Amino acid sequence: MGRKTKLPDFDSLWDYDHPGATERRFRELLPAALDSRDLTYLSQLLTQISRAEGLQRKFQDAHMTLDRVQKALEKTDDRTRVRYLLERGRVFNSSGKQDDARPLFLEALDLAVKSKDDSYAVDAAHMMAIVETAEKQLQWNLKALDLAENSAEEKARKWRGSIYNNLGWTYFEQQQYEESLLMFEKALEFQQQQSDPSRIMIAKWCVAKTLRMMDHTEEALEMQRDLYEQYQAAGKRSGYVYEEIAECMTVMGQEQEAQGWFAAAYEELSKDPRLANEQDRLNRLKELGKIDS
């Protein structure tokens, strides 16, 4: 009977902000996946379990999960191999081993292009941009954008928002704020078309941060305050918004008021695994928030 049951679309269960909960949801599907004897489905599910583990910085576990997939690759298909390569590369990248990640992303890109699996080709190109040096990031992001914009596949075209965002950050890090703002505004426009409230808020945050860097501090602060209200209304907290409000206030000479926002930012962001490698940033928030150790 198990083999006749339609297996769930596990990709739709992703919540990148809560990888632990996502991993648990994925693991709940494992018995049915094993029972189905659909090795391709099982292997692809395991690649996503590995990704969830990696996002929780459980790198050894993630590699062990991928070792299971690797053993089955000969009996699966090109897409499974591409997904395996992508996730193995992501684990290496997240654990600071970019040199190990790079050839895996290149192989994934090559295979995805050959098998006309556009969305994974875009994913691989965008990961190449992440692992490459600053001077090569731009060309890889533009390559990813080209693949996304010229694809007939809706899933591939949906990558445009992320790539506009990545291009925005590439320009931002090069202090090319005009170009950065243009890309972040394109990302915002894209997300508004997609009508995803959380992604719209992130895109607005990027625009506002860039405006602050361009000395449009009052406009930036107004946008961040609006975002604060939106997060509050949704019952959510965003340390990133608190941090930007504090930074804007500091620029405007409101250090006293900024202190509470820095403290609130530290409280939230010190728990965020994505900032595990940004200790200087966290220390600064702690110091400006006047938080005792």
Instruction: Find the Cα–Cα–Cα–Cα dihedral 266, 174, 180, 156, rounded to 10°.
Output: -90
Domain stops at, among 43, 76, 109? 76
Task: Report how far apart, in Å, the C-alpha atoms of 292 and of each of 74, 115, 178, 263, 275 are.
Answer: 55, 56, 39, 10, 20
**The domain that contains 118 carries what CATH number?**
1.25.40.10
Domain stops at, among 44, 76, 108? 76
In-domain check, residue 183: no
Q: How far apart are CA 24 and CA 28, in angstroms?
A: 6
In the predicted structure, residue 71 carries a pLDDT above the cut 50: yes
- Residue numbers of the domain that contains 69: 1-76
Q: Are residues 59 and 81 in the same domain?
A: no
Both tokens assigned to 273: 């695994």
Type of residue at 146: D
pLDDT at 3: 46
37: DSSP letter? T
Task: Report how far apart, in Å, the C-alpha atoms of 228 and of each of 85, 179, 225, 266, 271 are.
Answer: 39, 26, 5, 16, 19
Q: How far apart are CA 144 and CA 7, in angstroms?
A: 31
pLDDT digits (tens, 9 = 90+) for 43-62: 999 999 999 999 999 999 99
Domain count, the chain: 2
Predicted TM-score of the model (pTM) = 0.80
Q: Are residues 72 and 88 in the same domain?
A: no
What's the Rg (C-alpha) of the chain?
21
In-domain check, residue 37: yes
Q: Are residues 61 and 85 in the same domain?
A: no
In the predicted structure, residue 158 carries a pLDDT above the cut 50: yes
pLDDT at 274: 84
Distance of CA 217 to the CA centre of its chain: 27
74: DSSP letter? G
